[in-house]
C-alpha cells in the first residue's frame, strides 16, 4: 500500500511492529504525532502497564521520524476527540493528508479518532483528506499467552515446560508488542455523515454557550443577533427537528414553551463546528 506523503497520528499501546512497519514500508512520513496517555491522569492501578507502554514509546521514538508527543487522557472520549480533532483540522487545513493507525488504540481512542476523522472529511472529494487504517499482524500473542497460562491448570502439566513457553512469549512481546509482523493493511472508507448547514452549526454553538434555550422565540432572537440576518421561525423549527432526529439536541415542552439543550454528541458537534 503506497500512499501520498503525509502526517500520521499514532496512538500508543502494547504494540511496536504494527506501529513502525507500515511507517517504514508503506508511507513517506512528513511528521508523526504520537498519542500518549497524560501522566498527570495516571492512577496507581495503571502504573505497571504505563511502564511497559513507555518502553515501546522509547523504541518507537528511536526511529528517525519527526515526532511530536501529544498527551491526552486515553480513558476520556471527549479529551481524545478534541485533541485529535484539532490536530487533524490543522493538518488538513495546511493541505496535508492525515493517516491514522488504529491498530494499537484502545476502544475509546479508536472511536474518538474515527469520529474526529469523519468530521474532517469533506464530501465529494476523490481521495479523503483523512484515512484510517488497521494492520493485520502475522502473529498474535494474546491467544498464545492465555492458552499457555491455562495449561498451568492441567493436573499432569509439566510446569517447568509451561514456564519456559511463557518466558519465550514474554520475550517476543517485549521485542514486538502484543503482535508481530505485518501481514496486510486495511484502509477504512470514510462513511458519509449527515451534512449540516452553517446556520445549524451556529444554532448548536449558541445552545452550547447558553446551555439551555427556553423557547424557539429565544433561539430565533439569539440566532438573528449572531448571524446579523433574519431567519424565519419556520426554518428554525425545521432545523431543530432535524438536529433532534440526529440526536444532537433534546427538547422538553414546558407549558407553551420548548426548552432546548444539547446532548453530549451535540456538544462535540458544536465544538467541531466552532473550530
Q: What CATH number does the domain containing 219 carry?
A: 1.10.10.10
pLDDT tens, per residue, the chain with 275 residues: 557 889 999 998 888 999 999 888 888 899 999 998 887 765 555 666 777 788 888 888 888 899 999 999 988 999 999 999 999 999 999 999 999 999 988 899 999 999 999 888 765 555 778 999 999 999 999 999 999 999 988 888 889 999 999 999 999 999 999 999 999 988 886 665 667 788 999 999 999 999 999 999 999 999 999 999 999 999 999 999 999 888 889 999 888 888 999 988 888 888 877 66
Q: Verify that 18 and 118 share a domain, yes or no.
A: yes
109 backbone φψ class: left, alpha, beta (φ>0; ψ -120 to 50):
alpha
Residues 38 and 134 in one domain: yes
Number of domains in the chain: 3
Provide the domain limits for residue 258.
198-273
121 and 210 together in one domain: no
One domain, residues 245 and 118: no
E strand spans, the chain? 6-11, 29-37, 67-72, 98-101, 130-136, 139-140, 179-180, 184-188, 212-213, 249-254, 257-262
**Residues 70, 23 share a domain:** yes
Based on the domain organization, do 10 and 124 belong to the same domain?
Answer: yes
Tell me: do 77 and 12 sit in the same domain: yes
Query: What CATH number does residue 112 fall under?
Result: 3.40.50.10770
In angstroms, how far is CA 206 from the centroid of its own chain? 26
Q: Is residue 193 part of a domain?
A: no
Task: Tell me if the pTM is above 0.85.
Answer: no
Kindly report the backbone phi and psi dihedral angles of residue 119, in degrees, each rounded to the nearest multiple of 5, phi listed first: -70, -20
Nearest to 108, CA basis, from 132, 144, 72, 59: 72
Amino acid at each position: 500500500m503506497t500512499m501520498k506523503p503525509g502526517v500520521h497520528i499514532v496512538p500508543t499501546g502494547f504494540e511496536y511492529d504494527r506501529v513502525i512497519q507500515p511507517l517504514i514500508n508503506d508511507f513517506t512520513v512528513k511528521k508523526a504525532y504520537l498519542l500518549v496517555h497524560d501522566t498527570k491522569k495516571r492512577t496507581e492501578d495503571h502504573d505497571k502497564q504505563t511502564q511497559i507502554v513507555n518502553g515501546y514509546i522509547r523504541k518507537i521514538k528511536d526511529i528517525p521520524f519527526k515526532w511530536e508527543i501529544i498527551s491526552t487522557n486515553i480513558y476520556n472520549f471527549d479529551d481524545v476527540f478534541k485533541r485529535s480533532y484539532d490536530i487533524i483540522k490543522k493538518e488538513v487545513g495546511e493541505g496535508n493528508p492525515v493517516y491514522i493507525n488504529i491498530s494499537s488504540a484502545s476502544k475509546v481512542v479508536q472511536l474518538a479518532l474515527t469520529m474526529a476523522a469523519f468530521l474532517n472529511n469533506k464530501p465529494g472529494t476523490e481521495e479523503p483528506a483523512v484515512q484510517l487504517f488497521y494492520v493485520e499482524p502475522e502473529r498474535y500473542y494474546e491467544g498464545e499467552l492465555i492458552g499457555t497460562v491455562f495449561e498451568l491448570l492441567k493436573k499432569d502439566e509439566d510446569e517447568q515446560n509451561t514456564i519456559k513457553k511463557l518466558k519465550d512469549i514474554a520475550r517476543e512481546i517485549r521485542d514486538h508488542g502484543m503482535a508481530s509482523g505485518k501481514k496486510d493493511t486495511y484502509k477504512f472508507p470514510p462513511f458519509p455523515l449527515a451534512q449540516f448547514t452553517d446556520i445549524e452549526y451556529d444554532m448548536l454553538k449558541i445552545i452550547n454557550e447558553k446551555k439551555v434555550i427556553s423557547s424557539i422565540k429565544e433561539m430565533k432572537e439569539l440566532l438573528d443577533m449572531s448571524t446579523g440576518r433574519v431567519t424565519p421561525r419556520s426554518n428554525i423549527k425545521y432545523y431543530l427537528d432535524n438536529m433532534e432526529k440526529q440526536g444532537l439536541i433534546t427538547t422538553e415542552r414546558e407549558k407553551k414553551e420548548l426548552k432546548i439543550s444539547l446532548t453530549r454528541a451535540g456538544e462535540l458537534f458544536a465544538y467541531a463546528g466552532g473550530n
